[in-house]
Amino acid sequence: MNNTNQNGTNYGKIIYDGLWVNNPAFVQLLGLCPLLAVSNTVINGLGLGLATTLTLVASNMMVSMIRHWVRPEIRIPVFVLIIASTVTIIELSMNAWFHELYNILGIFIPLIVTNCAIIARAEAFASKNTVPSSFIDGLFMGLGFTAVLVTLGAMREVIGFGTLFQQAHLMFGEAARGFSITLFEDYRGYLLAILPPGAFLGLGFLIAGKNIIDKKRQAHEKHIIEKSPKATEVLS
Amino acid sequence: MSIIHSSPYIQNNENVSRMMLAVILALIPGTLVYIHFFGFGVLINIIIAVITAIVCEVTVLKIRQRPVKPFIYDGTAVLTAILLALALPTLTPWWLAALGAGFAIIIAKHLYGGMGYNPFNPAMVGYAMLLIAFPKEMTAWIPAETHGLNFFDTLNYSFFETLPAGMSYDALTMATPLDSIKTQLSLGYTVDEIKNANASLFGNIAGYGWEWINIMFLIGGIILILIKVINWHIPVSMLGALAFMAMIFNFSDAGSYPPISFHLFSGAAMLGAFFIATDPVTAAASNKGRLIYGAGIGILIYIIRTWGGYPDAIAFSVLLMNMAVPMIDYYSKPPVFGATHES
């Protein structure tokens, strides 16, 4: 975020930060409670992920808009108020339009308000940056969170139920009933993946996988840099 | 064997393997009686679990680029697999033992750093995982001795899940003494009524078949203590705490709390006390710590057996106390030689 400024905002970096380098679920390990609790199927994960993204975008933009008028002493209560009202709006809208999904996600929709990823972005980014860059940050932090939720949900659903996209109609309407894919016929199910231990184990494996990829890429970059001395000057 | 430092510590591999061999040999009498009462499923489970554990151990060691030979010959993987297999019901599909052993070795042992570094007893992690994931398969036991299944019937069930004509899985399997006493107590019967109504299930002390298995494991365990492979602290404090709890509640209300002998000789009490809780890697390190650790397991077993959701509780109690081991070790550190009380 060092090279972000009024004139030449580095949107590419913000996007890459949100999706990978600073991913709220993988790297900052924020918002683990909803992440672990509702990632038992793809659709649940997607539902909660999108609701969180929407909250992040809205709260980030509002916090950024008022950033010059809020005294630093009271900024946290103001952020909390903004986030709480955003979540209330989203909760009521989900209750109206995605009622069944709302019932399944239950307490975790109002609990988005306590997701520390949101207040962390308000404090660390939105209160110091312009509205457009806060919008991009909120959007991609949210999408990064959603991506982890969906991946973990897919892992747990495949291992736990042997299906993918079950109950897709909760999000995409009746037409989506056929989306559900049964990967293994006659699968007994693996209860552990659905239960909380499966969430912890699954997230552990995903983070390990990300670290392996990062290490390989680092080694690769180092290799390139060592090979061509000129590249070092360019990169530094 | 008086090691006063906490794990991990470097040991001479030859000692570890000799220790493991002694433990495995001490398991033999109990295992034979187990096979006599509950059929060859025990043996099939042991073989499947041991093969899976060795394959997983070799694969993970190769991936982790560790030397394979010393870690295979130390026998810890084999012992983990045997303990897990002894805890499983005897009429089970083959993948149950394989999955449990694989989980125990890969996740509970090697993901935490391998031999000497695992905070949780691998065999019990494997067992707890299976119990949570497959409650139906993990709680169905065949009756002792009267099940009428020979080796090939059991093998057939293990691999193809087919039983001989005229037998059905649901009719053949039944609750263990611990399980049935728990359910019937909750229905309002007294201990004596339950025992009289199911005399063939309950045997003389603590369940037909089960009492003999426990006695044989007790003998094996005492031999291990005598040849100084394990310490007496953990088994004695664990069984003592279990007996103490059983005594208090049995004295207060004999109708709704089974006697001491029932608790000591049913389920996996003896196997747990002498072979599972004494795992040197995951238990407390000092003698005082071991006494606390064992007593904690005994009390937890009684609590879970009596008021918890599961009929037996060795696995959960051991795992819970494994979690407490760092704290126990911290507060039971033996004083450094020469240190005075004040300083």
Question: Between B95 and A228, where is the model more confident?
Answer: B95
Using a CB–CB cutoff of 8 Å, tell me whether A212 touches chain B. Answer: no
Q: Which helix (H) or strand (E) holds A181?
A: strand A181-182
Task: Lowest mean pLDDT of A230-234, B40-44, B169-173, B301-305, name the range.
Answer: A230-234
**Do A197 and B107 lie within an 8 Å CB cutoff?**
no
**Which two three-digit tokens encode residue A145?**
């969170």
**Do B132 and A190 lie within an 8 Å CB cutoff?**
no
**Do A191 and B129 lie within an 8 Å CB cutoff?**
no
Question: Could you tell me if B306 and B257 are in contact, meaning their C-beta atoms sit under 8 angstroms apart?
Answer: yes
Of A188, A191, A201, the CB nearest to B132: A191
Q: Is residue A164 part of a domain?
A: no
CB atoms within 10 A of CB A214: 14
**pLDDT given for residue B214 in this prediction:** 92
**Do A192 and B135 lie within an 8 Å CB cutoff?**
no
Q: Is residue A174 part of a domain?
A: no
* Mean pLDDT, chain B, integer: 86
Give the number of beta-carbon pairs within 8 Å between A and B. Answer: 13
Q: Is residue A7 part of a domain?
A: no
Dihedrals phi, psi of B46, to nearest 5 degrees? -60, -45
**Do B135 and A201 lie within an 8 Å CB cutoff?**
no
Task: Lowest mean pLDDT of A116-125, B137-146, B215-224, B253-262, name the range.
Answer: B137-146
Q: What's the complex ipTM?
A: 0.76
CB atoms within 10 A of CB A76: 13
The average pLDDT across B110-129 equals: 90
Can you tell me the distance from the alpha carbon of B84 to that of B77, in angstroms, rounded to the nearest whole number?
11
Q: Is residue A123 part of a domain?
A: yes
Using a CB–CB cutoff of 8 Å, tell me whether A190 touches chain B. Answer: yes
Can you tell me the distance from the alpha carbon of A81 to that of A87, in angstroms, rounded to the nearest whole number?
10
Q: How far apart are the first and last CA of chain A?
A: 17
Beta bridge partners of A181: A164
Q: Is residue A179 part of a domain?
A: no
- List of chain B residues whose C-beta atoms are within 8 Å of the C-beta of residue A190: 133
Q: How confident is the model at residue B246 (pLDDT cuts 50, 70, 90)?
A: very high
Q: Which of A156, A190, A192, A194 to mutate to test the interface with B (most CBs of B within 10 A)?
A: A192
Can you tell me the distance from the alpha carbon of B249 to that of B43, in angstroms, rounded to the nearest whole number?
37
Number of structural domains found in chain A: 1
Q: Is residue A23 part of a domain?
A: yes
Which residue in chain B is spatially nearest to A194 when comparing CA positions? Answer: B133
- List of chain A residues whose C-beta atoms are within 8 Å of the C-beta of residue B134: 188, 191
Low-confidence ranges of chain A (pLDDT < 70): 1-8, 173, 175, 226-236
Beta bridge partners of A164: A181
Using a CB–CB cutoff of 8 Å, tell me whether A195 touches chain B. Answer: yes
Q: Is residue A166 part of a domain?
A: no
Q: Is residue A42 part of a domain?
A: yes
- Give residue-wise pLDDT tens across range B296-333: 999 999 999 998 888 888 999 999 999 999 999 998 88
CB atoms within 10 A of CB A88: 13
- List of chain B residues whose C-beta atoms are within 8 Å of the C-beta of residue A188: 134
Q: Which of A184, A187, A188 to mutate to test the interface with B (most CBs of B within 10 A)?
A: A188
Domain of residue A65: give its range. 12-159+190-235
- List of chain B residues whose C-beta atoms are within 8 Å of the C-beta of residue A197: 129, 132
